Amino acid sequence: MCNNECDARTPELAHPPELMVDDEGRVPNTFWQSVSWRQFPEPLVVNLTLSWGKSIELTEDIVITFESGRPEQMVLEKSLDHGHTWQPYQFYAVDCLNSFGMESRRAQDLTAASVLDIICTEEYSRGYVWKLEKTVRFEIQVRFALFGGPRLSDMASLYSRLDTTKELRDFFTVTDLRLRLLRPATGPTSVDPLNLSKYFYAISNLDIRGRCRCHLHANNCILENGRLSCQCEHNTTGQDCGSCNDGFHGRPWTAGSYLPIPKGTANVCE
């Protein structure tokens, strides 16, 4: 950890945001580091925003690896409309009731009926006590497993549920994610206002996996001129294959379907 010799103006001593998404596996880790806490008790708040410019369906757990202690308070937020509006995705705190007025819950305790609940978890906020615990997760897999069974052995059941429930599809879809870091790790003792340089956020890796939302009308999604776009089939068009091509309005546009499983229905524009 660089502490006093950090300097954003000197390349050898800088910790820019790109170091959260470079190739990992290096020793030591490369990491982004925020400014230090300057004016306690005024909170040190930092927003990290990730934008894809395209709707993405998340397929794996989001894993954020901290180089500093994990924050004592943070919120993961999502947008479905390119950052115009934001909704909380999950709250994280050492004390959920105290920080957000919410009971602490674990993603593992969700049920099929409560899968869309936005929870506050205390699973990932213990900072300095457990030094080896560096990651914060948003759990996609345990939510999928509510429909696809343990180890996702019944994907057909998961797909049919996704097919028929728009709220569930949208829950796992984002165009942007925002991490609102609200209070850094301070360790077991109270904040030392005379030594604020030791409180900051540092992240070495962001692991976010998903696929382009193409409404089951494309096999490929390509990056062209800095823009992600589905390679639409079935006479559809648009960044997400969300409408029918000119001259193919014989019936209203409909998303492709996983049903009947396993063959599915293309719902071609005619």
Interatomic CA distance for residues 137 and 146, integer angstroms: 18
Please say which residue, 22 or 109, places its beta carbon nearer to Ca ion. Answer: 22
Q: Whole-number minimum distance, CB 204 to Ca ion, in Å? A: 5
**Site for Ca ion (CB under 5 A): which residue of 99, 204, 229, 267?**
204
Residue 103: other Cβ atoms inside 10 A: 9
DSSP-based three-state secondary structure for 192: coil
Greatest distance between any 2 Cα atoms in the chain: 71
- Measured at CB, which residue is nearest to Ca ion? 30
Residues in the interface with Ca ion (CB under 5 A) total: 4
30 is a contact residue toward Ca ion (CB under 5 A)? yes
CA dihedral of residues 187, 193, 194, 195 (deg, nearest 10): 30
Q: Which stretch binds Ca ion (CB under 5 A): 17-25, 39-47, 96-104, 225-233?
A: 17-25
* Contact letters for Ca ion, residues 163-202 (x by CB under 5 A): ----------------------------------------
User: Which C-beta is closer to Ca ion: that of 29 or that of 265?
Assistant: 29
With contact defined as beta carbons under 8 Å apart, do 144 and 66 qualify? Answer: no
146 φ, ψ (degrees, to nearest 5): -65, -25
Among 24-32, 103-111, 171-179, 195-203, the segment contacting Ca ion (CB under 5 A): 24-32
How far apart CA 68 and CA 109 sit, in angstroms, is 28
Q: Confirm or reject binding of residue 19 to Ca ion (CB under 5 A).
A: yes
34 binds Ca ion (CB under 5 A): no
Long-range contacts of 9-17 (CB under 8 A, 24+ apart): 15/202, 17/48
Q: Report the interface residues with Ca ion, using CB under 5 A.
A: 19, 22, 30, 204
